[in-house]
Chains A and B, each alone.
Chain A
Amino acid sequence: MTADPAEIGLNRLLRRAGWPERGRRLPRRKKSLLYLRRIVAVLLGLGFIFPFYWTFVISVDRPGQFDSFPPVLIPQWDWSSWARAWSEWPWLGLFANTALIASGTVILCLITSTLAGFAFGVLRFPGRKALMALVLSVLMMPQTVLIIPDYVLASDIHWVDTYWIQIVPWGASVFGIFLIRQFFATMPQEILDAAAVDGAGRLKMLWRIGVPAVRPALVIIAINVFMASWNSFLWPEVMTRSAASGAGVQPVEVGLSGFASANGTDIPGLAAATAFTTLPLIIVFLLLQRQFIRGALSAAGSIR
């Protein structure tokens, strides 16, 4: 029976992290080091979890407690901020919008990054380097500078206040193209030559050899693009209109911004809204974390 490449990769990782092989005992010194590593890892983990925990605690604080000193770190289970925050915006609609926009953007980005990265990394054509430099130069242009001309353009093509304007302009990632290109640039030419000898066309080569080889990069791109799309604020704020009722096409971030005004910030309300809009993502991540790791490591046993 052949071992699962992902399993092999996972085991290697565990070994590197200090986990002993099944049935093997560690010397005392190594054992102490292992425990120390674990303690540091747990502390680091707690450090990452704490901001969300505190946000949740503030969201269920009793009135006036969020500003107490020393801070209250035990949940008080007062759900009034949740009720108030929930009634502020049509969160389910906003959440669905964000999920649709983020997913659409990720899919587009994966397609464009793979195609462009393959072209820049594998194909040989005149002006390839200059074109790549042109693509990279986009990174140097701040989005804020272009937002007004972009609005005019969006208005001209009747895309203002649509899902399209929130997905299509972000459907190509320079970072993604560069990353995939780097993967393909280091791929041995012999593999592609062998595929060509076997009669594979370019698209078949890309699909059968290229995509499995760059799967780790695709996972990284997907996570990055998803996070960027999920956190996007200024673009949807300017390009979309909030309706008097209903979510329209706006995402969660626009709703969250509503808790801050020129005169102050409704901190308990914002904490509650942040908690109930982040919670589903955390649950999804926890449920799928094994798949994420497998996805990232699966290339360990495939073509590199």
Chain B
Amino acid sequence: MRSRQLAATAAAAAVTLLTVSACAGGGSSSSSTTTTAPAASPSANAGAITGPVTISFDEVYDSGTLKTAMQSAVKNFEAANPKITVSLTTYADYGALLTAETAAVAAGKAPTIGQAYESWAQKFATSKVIVPIASLPGASSTMSTALSSFYTGVQSDLKLPDGQVWMWPFDKSLQVLFYNATLLKAAGITSPPTTWTQFGTDLKSASKNGVVGITIDPGNATEGATSGEEWLEELAAANGTQVYTSNGTPQFTNPAVESALQYLVNLKKEGALATGTNYPGETALGAKKGLVDLSSSAGYYYEQQSVGGKFPLTTTLLPAGGSGAPDEMAGANLVVFAAASSQQQAAAWKFLQYLSGPVEQAAWSAATGYYPVTSQALTEPSMATYLKQNPWVSSTIAGLNSAIVDPPYAWVTQCGIDLSTAMSAALSGTSVSSALNSAQSACSSAQSNG
């Protein structure tokens, strides 16, 4: 999330450049402006690979298990599709990726496939530099079956406001709670709370002897929005109102949002919540100074690394509020760039199907900790051992069906920073209503500016 927000500055610059480059043709040599019509007419041979073809894939899987798992996926795919070669280009983070993708598009050297968040995809689609998935050769006949196999929250995340599927899923995660089981027991809490009210009570009772219930990073104008800001969004949704309407209009001054922020402020006042930067919850948990950390399920590896066997870790989904237990889904999607040739687009569709299929999803999930995007992966043999070792995955993955995501508009990235700023201000003593009013005003301006 932080990387995503760090991309905000580059994103703002990118909008203009992308528009200009798209108007100028963007250097694309083939089907560069096709947005709705399929690149190849449906026929028996649609999507067939007639000769050797290389597709490039810009991504951020540049280290650890992510890197090796992606290399393994490519190797297996190439073995199964000998005419297709996949060339990986990795970037350190999403900020660098967005800059590179934007620059490559402007230079007429866009990759075939790239990772993209929803708001990026919206910009790319508006600038006509990516194509709808249904327009890929061979996709029109097979896309709907593949699409229906995904968790429902994942399915809706792939569409842009025009209703078309412009993105394809690969790795998804939800926010989960990592508890120090020993501290839970010491505080007399027999099982993790299932409601936010109980959660607050438990945090307060555990906050003693140098232990603070939870430590979060609310983010700020410099750092951008973080998991702390996502928590605020989830609390507001659990209170019955999401912070944005479906068309991206902010609702920061809604009573549900105010109540959510007041909940956090009260926890801070009671000494049950602390703030920090650079994954402070993980640090506090690992130092046995925090009862629980709120983080991405894909961050399980890092939580374990921090805990290092010092105590048992209990992982649960978020508690519920009056309107259920909405959880914000994270993880970028994949898009196919318009500059790719018809053969490259056909190969890209095969690769997307492979990456999102049950076999690869099971392998990827077991290796990286991301949730599989399809429930079919859960029954794959390669997933069995992983699920046995990590039972929390089975008990939390259904959250992908009801997951919430921010609407795919460019200004939403900036609005997340505005909300982070409001959160930091309120936790530092500014009144909740005043902080949210400022954020509402700033976000409305961003929306007006597009």
Q: Which residues of A contact B (CB under 8 A)?
A: 62-69, 88, 144-145, 147-149, 151-152, 155-156, 160, 233-234, 237-238, 241-242, 244, 254, 257-269
Do A266 and B289 touch across chains, with their CB atoms under 8 A apart? no
Task: Name, among B17, B74, B92, the residue most crowded by chain A CB atoms within 10 Å (CB to CB).
Answer: B92
Rounded to whole angstroms, the CA-CA distance of A186 and B100 in the bound complex is: 45
Choose the segment among B187-195, B256-264, B279-287, B430-438 that binds chain A (4+ C-beta atoms closer than 8 Å).
B279-287
Closest A-chain residue to B87, C-beta based?
Answer: A244
A residues in contact with B107, CB < 8 Å: 151-152, 155-156
B286 touches A67 (CB 8 A): yes
Give which listed residue, B63, B74, B109, contacts A266 with CB less than 8 A.
B63
Q: Judge whether B109 and A260 touch: CB under 8 Å.
A: no
Q: Which 5 A-B pairs have the closest CB atoms?
A: A64-B308, A67-B286, A264-B302, A151-B103, A257-B92
Partner of A262, one of B4, B104, B288, B306: B4
**CA gap between A69 and B310 in the complex, in Å:** 12
- Which residues in A have their C-beta under 8 angstroms from that of B17? 148
Rounded to whole angstroms, the CA-CA distance of A69 and B103 in the bound complex is 44
A263 engages B100 (CB within 8 Å): no
14 A-B residue pairs with Cβ-Cβ distance under 8 Å, sorted by A, are A66-B306, A67-B285, A67-B307, A149-B106, A152-B103, A155-B107, A160-B109, A237-B92, A259-B63, A261-B3, A261-B60, A262-B93, A263-B298, A267-B306
Measured in the bound complex, the distance between the Cα atoms of B9 and A281 in whole Å is 34
The CB with the most chain B CB atoms within 10 A, among A62, A65, A260, A262, is that of A262
- Judging by beta carbons under 8 Å apart, are A237 and B91 in contact? yes
B445 lies within 8 A of chain A by Cβ: no
Q: CB-CB < 8 A to B88: which residues of A? A: 244
Known interface pairs A64-B306, A152-B103; 13 further A-B residue pairs with C-beta atoms within 8 A, sorted by A's residue number: A63-B305, A64-B305, A67-B308, A148-B99, A155-B104, A155-B107, A155-B108, A237-B96, A257-B62, A262-B94, A264-B302, A264-B303, A265-B278
- Give chain B nearest CB distance to A259 CB in angstroms: 6
**A133, B99: Cα distance in complex, Å:** 31
A-B contact count (CB 8 A): 131
Interchain CB contact under 8 A, B92 and A151: no
Expressed in whole angstroms, the Cα–Cα distance for A19 and B237 within the complex equals 69
- Chain A residue numbers with a CB within 8 Å of B302 are 263-266
Out of A64, A233, A242, A258, name the residue touching B310 (CB < 8 Å): A64
Interface of B is mostly: helix
Any chain A CB within 8 A of the CB of B25? Answer: no
Which residues in A have their C-beta under 8 angstroms from that of B301?
263-264
Taking a contact as CB atoms under 8 Å apart, the answer to whether B89 and A234 are in contact is: no
Spell out B's residues near A (CB within 8 Å): 1-4, 9-10, 13-14, 17, 60, 62-64, 66-67, 71, 74, 88-94, 96, 99-100, 102-104, 106-109, 173, 278-279, 282-283, 285-289, 295-296, 298-299, 301-303, 305-310, 330
Q: Tell me the bound Cα distance from A145 to B301 in angstroms.
A: 36
| Bound Cα distance from A254 to B89, whole angstroms | 13
Task: List the A residue with the shortest CB-CB distance to B99.
Answer: A238
**Contact between B63 and A88 (Cβ–Cβ < 8 Å)?**
yes
Q: Is the CB of A242 within 8 A of B62?
A: yes
- With contacts A64-B310, A263-B296, A263-B302 taken as known, whether A258 is within 8 angstroms of B63 at the C-beta atoms is yes
Evaluate whether A155 and B102 lie within 8 angstroms (CB atoms) in the complex, with A242-B90, A266-B63 already known.
Answer: no
Tell whether, in the assembled complex, residue B103 and residue A260 are in contact, meaning their CB atoms are under 8 Å apart.
Answer: no
A204 to chain B, nearest CB (A): 45
Q: How far is the CA of A257 from the CA of B67 in the complex (A)?
A: 13
Beta-carbon contact of A242 and B89 below 8 Å: yes
| C-alpha gap A62/B307 in the complex (Å) | 11
With contacts A265-B302, A268-B305 known, is A257 near B93, CB below 8 A? yes
Is the Cβ of A148 less than 8 Å from the Cβ of B14? yes
A55 to chain B, nearest CB (A): 15
B104 touches A261 (CB 8 A): no
Q: Which of A64, A155, A265 contacts B286 (CB 8 A)?
A: A64
Q: Assess the A258–B283 pair: CB atoms within 8 A.
A: no
Query: Given the complex, which residues of B lie within 8 Å of A259, measured CB to CB?
Result: 63-64
What is the CA–CA distance of A155 and B107 in the complex, to the nearest angstrom?
7
Give every chain B residue within 8 A of A261 (Cβ-Cβ). 3, 60, 63-64, 66, 93
Docked CA distance A242–B308 (Å): 32
Which residues in A have their C-beta under 8 angstroms from that of B279? 264-265
**Pairwise interchain contact B106-A262, C-beta atoms closer than 8 A:** no
Task: Quote the shortest CB–CB distance from A82 to chain B (angstroms).
Answer: 15
- For the complex, what is the distance from the CA of A88 to the CA of B17, rounded to whole Å? 35
Expressed in whole angstroms, the Cα–Cα distance for A238 and B58 within the complex equals: 11
Q: How far apart are the CA atoms of A2 and B325 in the complex, in Å?
A: 84
Q: How far is the CA of A149 from the CA of B60 in the complex (A)?
A: 23
Q: Closest CB of chain A to B72's CB: distance in Å?
A: 11
Chain A residues whose CB sits within 8 angstroms of the CB of B9 once the complex forms: 144
* Closest B residue to A150 using CB positions: B103
